[in-house]
Amino acid sequence: MCTVSFIPKDQGFYLAMNRDEKRSRSIALPPRIVTVAGCRAIFPREPNGGTWIAVNDAGVCLALINWHRIQRNPADEIASRGQVTANLAGAASSNDIADAMMGMTLHNLRPFRLIAIVPGERVMTEWRWDLELLTARRHEWERKHWFVLMRYKNGAPCSSTSVSESSLVTPVRL
């Protein structure tokens, strides 16, 4: 299960994330401070160089979760979604993120949702890629949670459910 939780405070905010715990996933490399597009950023890495979470010295936080509800794969060779987060780790504003997202080649990435938090602007945007369309959805600067529940059978995904905070008030049947 992937989860992202955002909780604003009077001074700053809390961001918590848990990446998918699929047993066959490679062990992550520990966080390192790197320079990306002139910003210092820190994030853990997968062996292929991608990451699921990053924060930089401009305060921008990025968290990427899979979007298993979209049950299709790219037609071309599949690349890591984690490259999106690693490439955006140097973004200093919501405009930087938007420009970079619009310029990325996404056709070889499985569906994902990227949560981008820009505290200096009090902007929280959820970017969604479904293999055909990239969309951006702005969220209010308030408590928000994202969950992706994934079931595996014999090591292969067999079902999933995506829920967000608005779904928490209504029971979700799995």
Residue-level pLDDT at 174: 28
Give the pLDDT band (50/70/90) at residue 137.
very high
- Residue 160: is its pLDDT beyond 90? no
Query: What is the Cα–Cα distance from 2 to 135, expressed in whole angstroms?
Result: 20
* Residue 28 identity (one-letter amino acid): A
| pTM for the whole structure | 0.83
| Direct distance between the N- and C-terminal alpha carbons of the chain, in angstroms, rounded to an integer | 13
Angle of CA points 30, 19, 12, to nearest 5°: 80
Span 2-169: which CATH code?
3.60.60.10
Q: Between the CA of residue 106 and those of 6, 19, 34, 87, 100, what are the distances in Å?
A: 26, 21, 24, 13, 11
Q: What average pLDDT does range 4-24 have in this prediction?
A: 87
| pLDDT one-digit tens code per residue, 53-82 | 999 999 999 999 988 766 667 777 888 899
Tens-digit pLDDT profile for residues 27-57:
889 999 999 999 999 999 998 889 999 999 9
d(CA 142, CA 7): 7
Query: Which residue did the predictor score with more confidence, 156 or 148?
Result: 148
Angstrom distance (rounded) from CA 71 to CA 5: 24
pLDDT tier, 158 (very low <50, low <70, confident <90, very high otherwise): very low
* Top-confidence residue, 159 or 125: 125
pLDDT tens, position by position, 80-115: 899 999 999 999 999 999 999 999 999 999 899 999
